[in-house]
């Protein structure tokens, strides 16, 4: 077992990786005893997202530590509970007694932690791109990948059936995009499946119920009782590698596609192992938003009589609402997206079949650059203050989600114009099949 500690007053974050059994519990106990002697620590956050095994000894340590912290006015939080550990906690009867959070950012916010910068801004470098100026700070050098569940062609050819539906935990889809919905029973969401995204653990979707009104859920903890229902989903596995602060070169903003192009150029010059794929999350000031929304649930019973794709010219106008003029101006946006640099050697680096399941070209996206393929979803809010020196992507996202006035959610086109943005950048080692998700 490995334990990584990070002090974020008044919290201590302990990331536990491996097996927490009777022997290794003693190692974690030593870390906890030391932390409880530190007067700066009132909260302990245990990140158990990489915990492969949990024994009763580990649970006893959790409960004992929880009592000690609460006696001193603090608390113990678990982050990323899933898999075997989740089952053991439920079976032992302690699942409800131990507070859990979907993401580290939410847990830190509950502690009032300060200085929770993910990236090392002291090592930030300036980068001049065609779309504007960037300060780019290193964040994590751990490899990351895009997990692809289902296939975009099943959506585009209206082949979605109940057997293709999967349920994913909010903690397993912190950043993602796809097709999905929320609901307890199949009949609650299946007939109105729509485009969806998650950002910082918050799930937003646009039901195809004819009202063109998006719905969203901000989880404060992940009990597993409410899950994301999806037939197609691309999610980030791992941490962002860099964090960039972008400022447009033009007062009217620059296109999202141009920002991606700058990211690709930066990656090729500063990351020699760059394979051509990125996963981005943005908190942005949006001057003009363009996009599209699917109008009906792409399930088998709604399949067009001609049997052609929904983006075929014969079907496209009946199935998609497209913005020819800006749907929103001067708004705050949160985006998740994937991009592929066609100048790279991506064909040698990635599994072509998985790439084919993740990307498509929307005919309404007429300003798409010829040398890149992008797939982005975004949620829009009334304008929110953008900090002069934002440090934490999670905190910036959370501030918008919890305090912003929600407007809309769309599939986002490349010509959406941004004036400023805080961007999490993951340089993808691989696009791979997502093994997660329970049927139903």
Stretch(es) of the chain classified as CATH 3.30.1330.80: 121-144+235-439
Q: What is the pLDDT of residue 81?
A: 85
At a CB cut-off of 8 Å and minimum separation 6, what does 346 contact? 275, 276, 277, 340, 355
- Of 115-119, 301-305, 321-325, the poorest mean pLDDT is in 115-119
- Quickly state the pLDDT bin for 439 (edges 50, 70, 90): low
Q: pLDDT, tens digit, for every residue of 246-290?
A: 999 899 999 999 999 999 999 999 998 999 999 999 999 999 999
pLDDT at 306 over 60: yes
- Of 220-234, 306-320, 368-382, the poorest mean pLDDT is in 220-234
Q: What is the pLDDT of residue 220?
A: 67
- Quickly state the pLDDT bin for 118 (edges 50, 70, 90): low
User: Do residues 395 and 109 lie in contact, with contact meaning Cβ atoms separated by under 8 Å?
Assistant: yes
User: Whole-angstrom distance between the N-terminal and C-terminal Cα of the chain?
Assistant: 34
Cα–Cα nearest to 414, from 335, 309, 356, 345: 335
d(CA 227, CA 176): 14
d(CA 343, CA 125): 24
How much of the chain, in percent, has pLDDT values that exceed 70?
A: 96
At a CB cut-off of 8 Å and minimum separation 6, what does 349 contact? 275, 276, 277
User: Do residues 226 and 411 lie in contact, with contact meaning Cβ atoms separated by under 8 Å?
Assistant: no
- Most confident range, picked from 128-137, 236-245, 362-371, 388-397: 128-137
- Determine phi and psi for 400, rounding to 5 degrees: -70, -45
Q: pLDDT, tens digit, for every residue of 13-46?
A: 999 999 999 999 999 999 898 888 888 889 999 9
Q: pLDDT, tens digit, for every residue of 342-369?
A: 999 999 999 999 999 999 999 999 998 8
Q: What is the pLDDT of residue 49?
A: 85
Mean pLDDT score, 232-250: 93
Q: What is the pLDDT of residue 208?
A: 96
Q: Which stretch of DSSP H or E encloses residue 203? A: strand 202-205
d(CA 328, CA 344): 34
Distance, C-alpha 223 to centroid of its chain: 18
Q: Which two tokens stand for residue 324?
A: 């020819």
Residue 17 CB neighbours (<10 A) = 15
- Most confident range, picked from 106-110, 271-275, 390-394: 271-275
Q: Tell whether pTM > 0.75.
A: yes
Mean pLDDT score, 415-427: 97
Q: What is the pLDDT of residue 103?
A: 73
Q: What is the pLDDT of residue 440?
A: 65
**Peptide bond before residue 10 is cis, with ω within 30 degrees of 0:** yes
Stretch(es) of the chain classified as CATH 3.30.750.24: 2-111
Q: pLDDT, tens digit, for every residue of 146-185?
A: 999 999 999 999 999 999 999 987 767 889 999 999 998 9
pLDDT at 65 over 80: yes
Rounded alpha-carbon distances, angstroms, from residue 417 to 220, 286, 356, 411, 412: 32, 6, 27, 14, 11
Q: Is the dihedral of CA 91, 93, 95, 98 positive or negative?
A: negative
pLDDT at 90 over 80: yes
**Average pLDDT across the chain, whole number:** 91
Q: What is the pLDDT of residue 150?
A: 96
As a CATH number, domain 2-111 is 3.30.750.24
pLDDT at 117 over 60: no
- Quickly state the pLDDT bin for 141 (edges 50, 70, 90): confident
Rounded alpha-carbon distances, angstroms, from residue 123 to 10, 120, 244, 382, 396: 25, 6, 12, 33, 20
- Quickly state the pLDDT bin for 116 (edges 50, 70, 90): very low
Rounded alpha-carbon distances, angstroms, from residue 111 to 42, 44, 212: 8, 9, 37
- Residue of 336 and 184 predicted with greater confidence: 336
pLDDT at 223 over 80: no
**Class for domain 121-144+235-439, per CATH?**
alpha beta
């Amino acid at each position: 077992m490995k334990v990584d500690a990070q002090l974020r007053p008044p919290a201590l974050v302990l990331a536990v990786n491996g097996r927490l059994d009777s022997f290794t519990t003693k190692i974690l106990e030593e870390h906890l005893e030391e932390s409880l002697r530190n007067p700066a620590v009132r909260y302990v956050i245990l990140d158990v997202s990489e915990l492969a095994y949990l024994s009763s000894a580990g649970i006893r340590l959790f409960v004992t530590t929880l009592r000690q912290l609460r006696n001193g006015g603090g608390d113990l939080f678990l982050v990323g509970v899933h898999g075997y550990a989740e089952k053991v906690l439920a079976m032992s009867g302690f699942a409800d007694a131990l507070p859990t959070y979907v993401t580290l950012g939410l847990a830190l916010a509950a502690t009032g932690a300060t200085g929770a910068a993910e990236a090392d801004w002291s090592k930030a470098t300036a980068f001049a791109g065609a779309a504007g100026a960037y300060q780019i700070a290193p964040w994590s050098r751990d490899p990351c990948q895009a997990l692809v569940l289902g296939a975009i062609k099943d959506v585009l050819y209206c082949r979605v059936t109940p057997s293709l539906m999967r349920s994913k935990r909010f903690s397993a889809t912190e950043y993602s995009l796809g097709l999905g919905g929320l609901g307890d029973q199949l009949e609650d969401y299946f007939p109105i499946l729509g485009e969806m995204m998650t950002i910082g653990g918050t799930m937003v979707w646009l039901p195809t119920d004819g009202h063109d009104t998006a719905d969203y859920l901000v989880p404060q903890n992940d009990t597993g009782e409410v899950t994301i229902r999806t037939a197609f989903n691309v999610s980030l596995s791992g941490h962002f590698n860099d964090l960039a602060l972008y400022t447009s070169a033009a007062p009217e903003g620059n296109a999202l596609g141009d920002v991606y192009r700058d990211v690709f150029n930066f990656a090729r010059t500063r990351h020699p192992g760059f394979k051509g794929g990125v996963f981005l999350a943005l908190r942005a000031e949006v001057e003009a938003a363009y996009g599209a929304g699917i109008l009906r649930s792409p399930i088998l019973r709604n399949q067009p009589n001609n049997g052609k794709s929904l983006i075929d010219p014969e079907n496209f106008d009946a199935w998609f609402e497209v913005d020819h003029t800006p749907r929103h101006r001067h708004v705050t946006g949160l985006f998740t997206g994937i991009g592929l640099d066609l100048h790279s050697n991506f064909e040698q680096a990635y599994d072509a079949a998985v790439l084919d399941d993740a990307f498509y070209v929307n005919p309404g996206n007429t300003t798409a650059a010829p040398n890149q393929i992008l797939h982005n979803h975004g949620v829009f809010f009334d304008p929110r203050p953008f900090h002069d020196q934002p440090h934490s992507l999670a905190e910036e996202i959370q501030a918008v989600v919890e305090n912003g006035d929600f407007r809309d959610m769309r599939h986002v086109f490349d010509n959406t114009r941004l004036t400023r943005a805080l961007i999490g950048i993951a340089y993808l080692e691989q696009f791979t099949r997502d093994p997660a998700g329970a049927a139903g």
